[in-house]
Amino acid sequence: MITLISLYSDITSYPVRILSAYLRSKGLKSRLIFLPEAEHLNFQTPTDPRYPYDDKTINQLIGLCSGSSLIGISLLSSNFPHAVYLTKRIKEKLDIPVAWGGKHPSAKPGDSLSYADMVCVGEGEEALVELLEKIEGGEDYRSTQNMWFKQDGALIKNPKRRLLQNLDLLPFPDYSYDEHYIREIGTNKIVPLTPGIFKEYLLPESPVNLLPYETLFSRGCPYSCTYCYSFKGIYEGERYLRFRSIENTMQELELMKARLGHIQMIWFLDDNIFILPIEKIKEFCQHYKQRIGLPMSFAGHPLNISEEKLAYFTEAGMKGIHMGVQSGSKRIQGLYKRQMPEEKILEAVYAINRFKDALVPVYDFITDNPYETNEDIIDSIKLALKFPKPRRIQVFSLMFFPGTELRVQAQQEGLISKDDENNIYNLDFGSFHTRKKKYLNFVFLLFNRNAPNFIIKMLINRHLVGLLDRPVINEILFGIIVFLNWIRERIKRRRNK
């Protein structure tokens, strides 16, 4: 038996559910424990976000983990403090090996072994099966491919196994509710996960605000943005971008649509479905419309979005799209390795706008970049001003995630200390949704409050920016935003009563 612990805010937790399904398909037993975070679910925030699990939760968790052959924790860099805390508390009480997997351990396997007994580097389905079979069979498991260990102070770095190219060989995610548990945020009790509780904790998909079923049609991305960490570097020389067959994908969606009655839409988590050739998109859309018929949403890259592709997708039910712009500054685009002519970005935006009666777009930008000047941010705002309405601008703070090319550059240039990890692990990592209180970030927020373009143009006048971009003024401006959000929430609650 392996107990898999998910620290993700979203309890769909696709990586954990796929691992569980794969293990069970090989005759192995798994138990899933979901520990969602309060702040993402509009619940009461814990007293100390570094340690959100009280002793009652920890003791229940340890009780569920006891008797396991292995404990697995899946995490991103943003989950790192919680993973460290949980691992320490588990190892105080249980003599059971703890394995970490996911993007953060893959990016920093050596550092992760300061806390975990073993680390999975890269994709983990086959590695975890081999590891668990060896542990339960009493065999020496330290030669398991994709796994790193620490023995007598030395690292054991096993070679990687080749990527699974036929994704149809993977089972569908585990939504059985069999041996699934969740921490109830209001009570801090870990209880069996039921369909009713699952629906309560499910996050609606933005921007269409429907309850989604989340899945992947592909694995991998054709691009290599410097701020993004993927497993691509681990599998250099192999075909990293892989697609499932359309039939396999439709079978999963048909099954889950029948099993999960609350599903209102399908949210494809893929990096970029638009990379598919037009004939494949056409075939996919024909099957989807005939067999699934629910609204769907996914992301796209400006260089791959076209009016022809959008026509097929919207006809099949596409209602939401996220498009990563990231910056309107040529200099910052070069820093991110996302060089795109402005006309190509606008071509994609106007293609999306032609379907405005059917499609809700979200355009993503990155801010809080220490390499970025006010001039660069103004270039981004000027570009966004050229987007026709309706438009929704989503702004993220730049995070120097471990394993990214941009983090290495920032360390080499002294922007980040190699010895100080607080820039990613401190309490303020909150998430990349937590923007700094800067004047131009305030201006960005006005896009989603229907401010007229001429007002925004006035506010980005360079002289006005120089005059108003001051800490005291920024505190006042963001205080106004907080107050307006509070008013809006109160109005919403009254309407819902």
pLDDT in tens, 8-21: 888 999 999 999 99
pLDDT reading at 338 higher than 90: yes
pLDDT band at 432 (very low <50, low <70, confident <90, very high): low
Cβ contacts of residue 193 below 8 Å, gap of 6+? 11, 32, 34, 177, 180, 181, 182
461-495 burial code (b ≥16 CB/10 A, e <16): eeeebeebeeeeebeebbeeeeeeeeeeeeeeeee
pLDDT at res. 43 = 36
CA distance 365 to 380: 8
Taking only the tens place, the pLDDT of each residue in 150-169 is 988 889 999 999 999 999 99
Q: What is the distance between the terminal CA atoms of the chain, rounded to a whole angstrom?
A: 45
pTM over 0.85: yes
What is the third-level CATH fold of 2-167?
A: Rossmann fold (3.40.50)
DSSP per-residue string spanning 391-444 = --EEEEE----TT-HHHHHHHHTTSS-TT--HHHHSGGGG-TT-----HHHHHH
Percent of the chain with pLDDT over 70: 93
pLDDT reading at 50 higher than 70: no
pLDDT band at 40 (very low <50, low <70, confident <90, very high): very low
pLDDT reading at 429 higher than 90: no
For the chain, the helix, strand and coil percentages under 3-state DSSP, each to the nearest 5: 45, 15, 40
Q: What is the domain partition of the chain in residue ranges?
A: 2-167, 206-496
pLDDT mean over 378-405: 93
The DSSP output letter for 100 is E
Tokens representing 99 are 């394995």
pLDDT at res. 428 = 38
Mean pLDDT across the chain, nearest whole number?
A: 90
| Residue type at position 161 | R
pLDDT reading at 289 higher than 90: yes
pLDDT band at 461 (very low <50, low <70, confident <90, very high): very high
pLDDT reading at 283 higher than 60: yes
pLDDT reading at 100 higher than 80: yes
Taking only the tens place, the pLDDT of each residue in 139-149 is 999 999 999 99
Alpha helices in 153-245 (DSSP H): 195-201
pLDDT mean over 303-322: 96
pLDDT at res. 489 = 76
Indicate if 206-496 has the same CATH topology as 2-167: no
pLDDT mean over 112-140: 96
pLDDT at res. 38 = 52
Note whether 288 and 234 are within 8 A (CB). Answer: no
What is the third-level CATH fold of 206-496?
A: pyruvate-formate lyase- activating enzyme (3.80.30)
pLDDT mean over 26-46: 71
pLDDT mean over 95-114: 95
Percent of the chain with pLDDT over 90: 76
pLDDT at res. 41 = 39
pLDDT at res. 250 = 98
CA distance 104 to 85: 15
DSSP per-residue string spanning 368-403 = --TT--HHHHHHHHHHHHTSPSS--EEEEE----TT
pLDDT at res. 497 = 59
pLDDT at res. 418 = 66
pLDDT mean over 74-87: 90
pLDDT at res. 427 = 35
